Structure 1
Amino acid sequence: MEKSSYQDVNAQVVKRCREGDNRAQYELYKLYSKAMFNVSMRITNDYAEAEDVLQEAFISAFKNLHSYKGEASFGSWLKKIVVNAAVNAIRKRRSELVPLEDRITEGIADEEYDDNTEWQVEKVRKAIQRLPDGYRVVLSLYLLEGYDHAEIGEILGISESTSKSQYSRARKKLLDLMHDSIHVA
């Protein structure tokens, strides 16, 4: 059986970046910035911080492009940089952390949706935003970003079992928040 090698569809753009082509950097930014911003936003739960993380991640990626070996897609490689930058931003924030519940503005009128599915997705998104940082990060990395608990443990510097228990607690807390929002609405 012959070993298949991975070929990134954006390999030529990455090659041009390595050669110092600024337009190629902009092309990569345009290709990946929205998806990477969404990853950052799910982890940081703060728009301005997510933007900062995105910029920091792209600067780091372009600066360290020589370490990208092409064994996986550029997007996968960049996503790891974004996840690490977002997790580091949360760690920096912890020293000045105010309980998340105090930052949630109560009494904001929920928008009404004609489509029940869209309404439900919005309720879940808002409930995820209300999770404490630790729960939200593990839940996002596992459920939304597709990392397994061993990888999450490595990223966050915690054990695999801690990741699993945080995920379990996050799910329970999320269900409680969803249950509470149904009875409040």
Structure 2
Amino acid sequence: MSTTHTIHKHLILQSQQGDQAAMSSLYDLYAKAMYNICRRMMGDEEVAKDLLQESFIDAFQKLPSLREINTFSSWIKRIVVNNCINAIRKKKLDTAQLEDGADFIEEEEDDFEYTQYRASQIMQAVDMLPEGCKAVLNLYLFEGYDHKEIGEVLGVTESASKAQYCKAKARIRKILEEERSQNVG
């Protein structure tokens, strides 16, 4: 067992007993990665910070019931993703907007060259997407949900999820191309 794993296990066990210092250390170890998930899914820094705090409060309240402490990392991530999904639902994500374009057909090949852009440019483009496209893109691309699962959590059809994913990719391409042409010209 690695030293890092042993330290994390020790912190988790102490946190399960209510040790505030251990909880603070766990927070420090996981907060940045969990914030990145919140920021990416919500597209708003303040909302992401609020959701991060809410997620850790939820996690620490539920921590005594965690039996498999080796799964802590995936367990906390699941809490964060679920809280983001719930926040998206609370925003009353316009399902009409999601259903719109359900017949959108994905191109057979996506030959767009994303590697010429910095990650920050792509993430800025993601932030500019409409809420429906952004939610589907994040759940599919970054969180590994399939379109059927996305449809279930967002209350839309599988084909609407696929359509929104295609629209999101097309919009990102357009935003990046427009930015590049502005910088060249």
TM bucket normalised to smaller: 0.7 to 0.9
1:75 shift after superposition:
1.5
Of the three residues 110, 114, 132, the one matched with 1:134 is: 132
Match of 2:100 in 1: none
Match of 2:32 in 1: 34
| Mapping 1:60-71, distance limit 5 Å | 60-70=58-68
Structure 1 partner of 2:156: 158
Aligned partners of 1:164, 1:175: CA distance in 2, in Å?
17
Please give the root-mean-square deviation of Cα atoms over the aligned residues, in Å. Answer: 2.5
Distance 1:169 1:15, change over 3 A: same
- Distance in 2, Cα, partners of 1:78 & 1:158: 26
CA contact (8 A) 2:41 2:134 kept: yes
Identity over the aligned pairs, expressed in percent? Answer: 41
Q: State the aligned residue count.
A: 157
AA of the residue aligned to 1:41: R
For 1:21, which of 19, 32, 36 is the aligned residue?
A: 19
- Which residue identity lines up with residue 152 of structure 1 in the other structure? I
CA drift of 1:94 comes to 4.3
Q: Which residue of 2 aligns with 1:58?
A: 56
Question: 8 Å contact 1:39–1:83 — kept in the other structure?
Answer: yes
2:106 counterpart residue number: none
How far did residue 118 of structure 1 move? Answer: 8.5
Could you tell me which residue of structure 2 aligns to residue 175 of structure 1? 173
Return the TM-score normalized by structure 2: 0.73
What is the Cα deviation at residue 119 of structure 1? 5.5
Q: Give 5+ residue unaligned stretches, structure 1.
A: 1-7, 96-116
Shift of the alpha carbon at 1:28?
1.2
Q: Aligned in 2, Cα 1:28/1:160: closer, same or farther, shift over 3 Å?
A: farther
Q: Distance in 2 between matches of 1:151 and 1:80?
A: 14
Is 2:82 the counterpart of 1:84? Answer: yes
Q: Which residue of 67, 70, 73 corresponds with 2:71? A: 73
Contact 1:54–1:82 (CA<8 Å) still a contact in 2?
yes
* Shift of residue 135, structure 1, vs aligned partner: 0.8
C-alpha change, 1:171 and 1:74, in structure 2 (3 Å) is same
Per-residue deviation, 1:121: 2.7
Q: TM-score, normalising length from structure 1?
A: 0.73
Taking a change above 3 Å as real, the CA distance of residues 67 and 153 of structure 1, as seen in their structure-2 partners, is: farther
